[in-house]
Amino acid sequence: MSLPAVGSRTWLTEEDCDLDAFRALVERDTDPGDHPAAERVEQNVPLYDSDRLRALTATPEGRRNVQGELVRALLEGPGIVVFKGAFADPAVVDRASGVFRALIEEERASGAGCGDHFAKPGANDRVWSALDKVAVRAPEVFADYYANDVLALIAEAWLGPAYQVTSQVNVVNPGGTAQNVHRDYHLGFLSQERAAAYPAHVHRLSPVLTLQGAVAHCDMPVESGPTLYLPHSQKFEPGYLAWRLPRFVEYFDAHHVQLPLEKGDAAFFNPALFHAAGHNRSTGIRRMANLLQISAAFGRAMETVNREAMANALFPVLLRRKAEGFSEDWLRRVVAATAEGYPFPTDLDLDPPVDGLAPLSQADTLWQAVAEGWDPERLRRELEAGAERRRT
């Protein structure tokens, strides 16, 4: 009796990790015809000119068409896209880099130790929970940075509305060694035994709950070690059980691709893509990237974030930007990156549905405050009350 094919099994095991089947998935050329909005395909990765995308997405229909292409690229295509010039104004990136460096220096001076998921602790400089640290410390810098339209375009495409941004700053210093190949959150952070305990349909679900991304905060030539990727590897269903196996590690080491990036470029990928940060062989490049892990409303983010403090810090900036004539889309993108956009879980005795099936989310409250020009103290009280209602 023959075994059912992978894709129809209820449970996955290491015995399903067939390297030949894996090779059949990844040893293919990415067809440029599948990515008409891309500027070109390089090393099997579609590269998009961000200014061109801004023109193509100027209408609702155009935006949906581009987002559909991006979803197909992450799900059925190579699993990764690169946006050239995602941050059009280099000054926005530089101001954020300045805040990142200040945080790194302060944490280093305090003796705080920073581990790493897939590299030796101490090899790199890393700022965990950078999102709320930057928001509270430099809300103007935060607002200008996270109002980015390309970030919102891909996050909404992959995750839908009410996505939740988290950020970790990573600096790989000259001589910093490469990470181990891996898949990412959620199942990628579990042991083999624990990952195998989840049924196959959860292995298929896990990647669509998270979007991985990185914004280049300096030019990253290949010698500086930009991330290594294996295009199309996200489609291998038992991949969460395969990435640690020596034969798959050896295959990745021999067949990965590596794309240089320029400051302001951004790469986004399916978290199930086999990838690893590269070895910094340069003599003077401190390779800085803002690593973005963006979660679906229905998933759980990896980091806890003090979004109440962020909302209070950003509110005066949002009011000023509104008075200066910034667009509603710009303001809403900042709100999306700041506040909790999903109203659950909550205590429905204290926080009943309002005019529908769900209570107001934190983002709803922040947007109402911006639209109606509340006093900051009123927003503070409303946010505190909302948090209390959710603490059963």
What are the tens digits of pLDDT across the range 314-342? 999 999 999 999 999 999 999 999 999 99
Phi, psi of 328, rounded to the nearest 5 degrees: -60, -40
User: Tokens 């059963």 correspond to what residue?
Assistant: 392
Q: Is residue 146 within 8 Å of residue 165, measured between CB atoms? A: yes
With a cut of 80, say whether residue 116 has pLDDT above it.
no
Q: Is residue 199 within 8 Å of residue 11, measured between CB atoms? A: yes
With a cut of 60, say whether residue 118 has pLDDT above it.
no
With a cut of 50, say whether residue 3 has pLDDT above it.
no
* 3-class SS shares of the chain: helix, strand, coil, % to 5: 45, 15, 40
With a cut of 50, say whether residue 2 has pLDDT above it.
no
Least confident stretch, 22-36, 71-85, 167-181 = 167-181
Q: CA triplet 148, 96, 125: central angle to 5 degrees?
A: 120
* Cα-to-chain-centroid distance, residue 117: 16
User: Tokens 């959150």 correspond to what residue?
Assistant: 185
Least confident stretch, 19-23, 36-40, 352-356, 359-363 = 352-356
Whole-angstrom Cα distance, residue 154 to residue 170? 21
Q: Is residue 259 within 8 Å of residue 198, measured between CB atoms? A: no
With a cut of 50, say whether residue 276 has pLDDT above it.
yes
- Please tell me the number of Cα atoms within 13 Å of 371 on its side-chain side: 10
Q: Is residue 264 within 8 Å of residue 49, measured between CB atoms? A: no
**Which amino acid is it at 79?**
G
Whole-angstrom Cα distance, residue 294 to residue 159? 8
Structural element, H or E, at residue 381: helix 376-390
Residue 208 DSSP class: G
Percent of the chain with pLDDT over 90: 88
Structural element, H or E, at residue 139: helix 139-146
Mean pLDDT of the chain: 94
With a cut of 90, say whether residue 263 has pLDDT above it.
yes
Which tokens is 81 given? 């896209």
Domain ranges of the chain: 14-295, 307-390
The domain made up of 14-295 has a fold known as: Jelly Rolls (2.60.120)
3-class secondary structure, 200: helix
For residue 172, how many other CB atoms are within 10 A of its CB? 29
Whole-angstrom Cα distance, residue 105 to residue 112? 10
The beta-strand segments (E) located in 85-163 are 124-127
Let me know if 239 is exposed, middle or buried by CB neighbors in 10 A (0-12, 13-18, 19+).
Answer: buried
The beta-strand segments (E) located in the chain are 40-42, 45-49, 80-84, 124-127, 164-172, 210-216, 228-229, 257-258, 266-269, 275-276, 287-295
Percent of the chain with pLDDT over 70: 95
C-alpha distance from residue 75 to each of 79, 153, 214, 236, 270 (Å): 6, 16, 18, 11, 7
pLDDT recorded at residue 1: 37
